[in-house]
Amino acid sequence: MIKDVVFLPMGMRAPADPERTLLELAQAAGVPMVGTCGGKGQCGKCRVLPMGDTNPATGLEVGLLGQAAGQGLRLACHLRMANGGRVWLPVESRLEGQKILTAGQGGVLDLDPVVRLHRLMVAPAALDDPVAAGPRLLRALNKRAPAVDRLGLGVLRDLPKSLAQSHGNVTVIVRKGRKVTGVVPGHQGRCLGLAVDLGTTTVVVYLLDLHTGQSLAVRAAMNPQVTIGDDVVTRLTYCNQSHKQASTLSSLATECVNHLAREACAEAGVLPSEIYECVMVGNTAMHHLFLGLDPQGLAVAPYSPVESSGLKVRARDVGLALAPEARLYWLPVKAGFVGADTVALTLALDAAALEQPTLILDLGTNGEMVLASGGRLMCCSAAAGPAFEGGHIGQGMRGAPGAVERVAINGRGLKTVLKVIGGIPPLGMCGSGLVSAVAALLSAGVLTSAGAFKENLPGVRPGSKGLEFVLAEAESTGKGQDLVLTSADVAELQLAKAAIRAGAELLMATMGVPRLERVLLAGAFGNYMEPAEALAIGLFPTIALSNIVGVGNAAGTGALMALASEKARCRAESLASSMEYLELSGHPLFRDYFLDHLPFPLPIAEGSSKDAVCA
Ligand code: FES
């Protein structure tokens, strides 16, 4: 008899299989668990506690787990449970409770949707009015929508049946004010639209009434592809291994969007079959994976996408369970690592109208940025690595309950005060906590500008990877081991911030912009990060603190604008084609800029103005 592996506390089950690791079983069963490095045995994040006998932990597991190995924890990507059994997922291994940013700043919704519904009564043909069915429909329709003059062949094929079924009472779907793309028997309800921001880490859907412009519901979830790997590169590698794996990634995203659409509709008391238009944005890898485009070109130089224009497809052709006639529009992408999400945020922020030099930055595993100045736009993408999302950090985790998000270090005794998401004992550190910790340690003089810990200070001690700083001792944490920031963690942040800073400086140099007037921080990390701390680690070029502004999920706002208005959609197309692109990989000056900005800035002297600038 096949036994099951039961994942607790969810109670989800997967048939035991001696050939597959626990992580592979979890992925196949849709168990929402962390698999940061895609099961390569590099991250040490896929921790589980088997509740019964297993084979002993490998040396690699012990090395990655440290103290936690002594508590019986194992790595799911190294553990097989051939006979089944129960396994506990610690909080930090679960993909739940993540803070997800849904609100965005920018753009006003003009209501001018590409799709409209018209409820009509089409008179039957008669001997004294023997007009064909198509022209009869147009005759009735033109009283309301005079510009409509086209009927597709598919519509003509179904038209007699639709008219007969409902005695001439039909709902006509008109696109772009000119073309009939569907005729449905009876008088259908609402004309709804769905805007989707498909991020590497999170997915947000917005349900909009396309007739009134009213926002009906917003739903968000973790992108389930995270169980395959946290970052885009891991997913592209997974996808490029087999066609089946590529379709697994695609289905995970599609199912997530369908699930969120159903939830949003349930909240609003409407049906997914009333959604006639969907607009999606996301980075180029998400775009390719969702649409089933071959992403191999994104993994190797020159990182060329299969298609960059805005794409219109039937929603059902990509697995979206909306109205049968629904269409999907993906905003254009700019380059292999500058996606439709960046185009959407330039639309939301009306970037082309920004006269003063403004850096728009969306921080994740890639730092996508746009420099706007005097109507000119230039973008680039800097490979920051996963540090800003808590990845590649010894005790890093996502911004979920238990993650340290803010650190203060007080007095000569270097007493540490932690702010933890959910107000529970700390389990790890998220990206904003990492930036905060390093900023606090720089300010307290514990870290040098080179990123080295000073010896013989309270809290500083030797660790397995050089010196480390104890943020919290085992008895006050939620996982029974000290919470530490290691020299390797600091170096990881240094590399990430130097890449972002170098990208920003190169954009400025290329456009001849000597200084910035504003920095707009888009996305979750930008929203939760303290601007003063970002300045303290030297993430941005010199700027007054008050001129750094968080704009929330502006990409989501851009998607909503393109959903509500055809004109906004045209503006997005024109922004994508007029925006210049700067390729950083292989740029002759990138390395110099990167090395110049590896050191942290020296702390601002105490008592200086809050609006002080930081070099
Ligand atoms: S070590 Fe298991 S997923 Fe990374």
Look at residue 551 and tell me whether its pLDDT is greater than 80.
yes
Ligand 1 mean position, distance from CA 156 (Å): 55
For the CA of 229, the nearest atom of ligand 1: 3
d(C-alpha 368, C-alpha 342), whole Å: 7
Q: What is the pLDDT of residue 192?
A: 97
For the CA of 76, the nearest atom of ligand 1: 2
d(C-alpha 72, C-alpha 459), whole Å: 27
Ligand 1 mean position, distance from CA 252 (Å): 20
Ligand 1 mean position, distance from CA 59 (Å): 14
d(C-alpha 198, C-alpha 11), whole Å: 28
Contact partners, residue 53, CB within 8 Å, separation at least 6: none
d(C-alpha 409, C-alpha 444), whole Å: 7
Would the CB of 35 count as within 6 Å of ligand 1? yes
SS3 69: helix
- pLDDT for 495-549, tens place per residue? 999 999 999 999 999 999 999 999 999 987 777 889 999 999 999 998 999 999 9
Element (DSSP H or E) covering residue 494: helix 487-511
Per-residue pLDDT band for 119 (boundaries 50, 70, 90) equals very high
Would the CB of 34 count as within 6 Å of ligand 1? no
Residue owning tokens 């130089």:
301
The two tokens of residue 429 are: 């550190």
Q: What is the pLDDT of residue 423?
A: 92
Ligand 1 mean position, distance from CA 105 (Å): 36
Ligand 1 mean position, distance from CA 236 (Å): 17
Nearest to 611 by CA among 543, 520, 522: 543
Contact partners, residue 270, CB within 8 Å, separation at least 6: 189, 190, 192, 207, 216
Pocket test for ligand 1, best of 27, 40, 235 (most atoms within 8 A of CB): 40
Would the CB of 45 count as within 6 Å of ligand 1? yes
Per-residue pLDDT band for 63 (boundaries 50, 70, 90) equals confident
Nearest to 347 by CA among 567, 612, 96, 46: 567
Q: What is the dihedral of CA 128, 134, 136, 142, to 10 degrees?
A: -150
Nearest to 530 by CA among 399, 379, 352, 406: 406
Element (DSSP H or E) covering residue 526: helix 523-528
Would the CB of 385 count as within 6 Å of ligand 1? no
Look at residue 42 and tell me whether its pLDDT is greater than 90.
no
SS3 289: helix
Lowest mean pLDDT among 108-117, 160-169, 571-580: 108-117
Would the CB of 386 count as within 6 Å of ligand 1? no
Whole-number percent of the chain with pLDDT over 70: 96
Would the CB of 39 count as within 6 Å of ligand 1? yes
For the CA of 44, the nearest atom of ligand 1: 1
Lowest mean pLDDT among 393-397, 457-461, 534-538: 393-397
Nearest to 312 by CA among 298, 291, 341: 291
Lowest mean pLDDT among 196-210, 347-361, 387-401: 387-401
Would the CB of 75 count as within 6 Å of ligand 1? yes
Q: What residue's CA is closest to ligand 1, atom 1?
A: 41
Pocket test for ligand 1, best of 21, 46, 61 (most atoms within 8 A of CB): 46
Would the CB of 42 count as within 6 Å of ligand 1? yes
Look at residue 379 and tell me whether its pLDDT is greater than 60.
yes
Would the CB of 216 count as within 6 Å of ligand 1? no
Per-residue pLDDT band for 615 (boundaries 50, 70, 90) equals very low
Instruction: Give the highest mean pLDDT range of 363-377, 413-427, 462-476, 499-513.
Output: 499-513
The mean per-residue pLDDT over the stretch 175-196 comes to 92
Ligand 1 mean position, distance from CA 355 (Å): 46
For the CA of 77, the nearest atom of ligand 1: 2
Q: Which residues partner with 403 through β-bridges?
A: 428
The mean per-residue pLDDT over the stretch 127-146 comes to 92
What per-residue string of b and e applies to 244-273 under the rule 16 or more CB within 10 Å gives b? eebebbbebbbebbbbbbebbbeebebebb
Return mean pLDDT, the chain. 90
The mean per-residue pLDDT over the stretch 317-332 comes to 96
Contact partners, residue 381, CB within 8 Å, separation at least 6: 335, 337, 338, 366, 367, 368, 369, 503, 584
Ligand 1 mean position, distance from CA 34 (Å): 8
Would the CB of 391 count as within 6 Å of ligand 1? no
**Which phi and psi (to 5°) does residue 220 adopt?**
-145, 155
- pLDDT for 407-456, tens place per residue? 999 877 889 999 999 999 999 999 999 999 999 999 999 999 999 999 99
Q: What is the pLDDT of residue 230?
A: 80
Q: Check: CB of residue 525 under 8 Å from CB of residue 531.
A: no
Pocket test for ligand 1, best of 21, 77, 226, 230 (most atoms within 8 A of CB): 77
Would the CB of 41 count as within 6 Å of ligand 1? yes
Q: What is the pLDDT of residue 240?
A: 85
The two tokens of residue 300 are: 């190797």
Pocket test for ligand 1, best of 27, 36, 228 (most atoms within 8 A of CB): 36
Q: Check: CB of residue 192 under 8 Å from CB of residue 210.
A: yes
Look at residue 106 and tell me whether its pLDDT is greater than 70.
no
Contact partners, residue 146, CB within 8 Å, separation at least 6: none
Would the CB of 44 count as within 6 Å of ligand 1? yes
Ligand 1 mean position, distance from CA 256 (Å): 23
Ligand 1 mean position, distance from CA 44 (Å): 5
Q: What is the pLDDT of residue 180?
A: 95
